[in-house]
Structure 1
């Protein structure tokens, strides 16, 4: 349950407040003497001032949460804790000629025990088994989840709100695995976006530098850094030709480090590129390439399924690469309806020293009709 109040005072100022709650209902849980409750309160404010070629803004959000779990049968499971978050920053835009340049920077703190199931539920169940080619080595080895599965298999996605933080694969996102509401984080984020008014293209860059607020299993703090960027170039608009031609590219790198006896050193990189060419009216030829590299170690936390508190850690190691090559055709019935035939070639290599061969190739053909409502 929840609600929001939003007040727009003028084009310069607006403020809002939110309340969300997740609770057990009597008769819906196995044990009627167990009770889970979580309440989250947040407020947000925006200030904006526009001039001829400039735009300035101030934005902020802050809030608190309360987590409670009670069991009459086993009081050792009982837990109750509160925590807070805030996120404040400045935003600006400059509009010289045909360009729009947007810049913003913010600082945020999210408490180590901040709990908001609605914001922190992961979209992907990282440890779910893929339903496509789920076994290998003559059905003796379960194939682990990869980037390709996360992009193509909708059965890996969560269908419900998760009351506690669920485990994740750190090589794919260790910086903010639970989004901006990831607990035990503080630091700065900066964004730069450059757009062309005639839609010639767009460039975007984001940099994040975060640390933990308290150490997990040690007094030493993890340090996180992330850099990502993307580009879209509409060649047809630049050359003023009728057939659509666009090029895309992206880059993301994350690094996690911690010194001391329980050290952490994790690095992951994703690079992708794509090309779309309209070869006939409403018929597009598409090609793409994506590569992923993950290397290092991280101490992953085990959490109590009732309280959500950390109970133990294990040293997770990764050294893998993945390459995805894709090409195909798309027929556009309209801007909201199209049919796609796509062929993908996936190469996965696990470079950790193990007794089991975990390297493989997958070739797959997709036929897909999409209708956007």
Structure 2
């Protein structure tokens, strides 16, 4: 599998998928490329042999010109890439590596909690945006992971494909939590622990819960992005890819995905909030810090009044902030 991937990346390095370098689908130079794509498809079919009856694997074809973004997609047999959620391996436009994960259709998005990888002024190490509006794939992944030419670990790649397939099938309603494969992550140290079937059941439940939360998370984040004018409420950071929807009171179903139970926070501030090292005073909407971080970089935000939405109905609920002040914040 890795041999085929590297050969395809090497081809793209020699023939970058940029404007003015298109290749006709009938060009003989594509014969080894098509062969490697078929080899990759076969390798994935063998890996997914227990599911292959329910799935299909599609590879780059093109009509007049060969696609600028090589890709291999895994999806249910009755579904089109243009209309659903699927797992895809996209090849960088310059052959620097691949981007792999659970993705959704560009033309018919299904509500995945997608990661905004590409923005104006940001250069990507792996860029999978093609030349046409319908072939721009950078921002359609929920769980994108980059793998670089010459250093791809097959086990890590296959584990990520398995996890992505779990997410895709669960979101499509085609898998229950007991069907999740629970792909082993290479860095978890799982092999050093005794096998415990109960842990597998707990892991399935955890993944199912996380995926369910993600389903409502996208619209929740979109509401907060608009309300907070695409800026972190604490830092003012406007790099959208770092901004996250933070629940003030813990997530307990769709009813907690309410804008008054949310704050738009930069990812590191979100972590501090969730860990109880930072809270927002419910009386005057200022930042309170745990003593452990007051003398750190984050000390600059102590007592700072947060940015609030223009509409009062979008402001965080006082009772939610009070709950976090009294029950989640570590006074230490």
Query: Shorter-normalised TM-score: what interval?
Result: under 0.3
Q: Which has the higher contact order (CA 8 A, sep 6+)?
A: 2
Higher strand share: 1
Q: State which structure, 1 or 2, has the greater radius of gyration over its C-alpha atoms.
A: 1
**Normalising to structure 1: TM-score of the pair?**
0.24
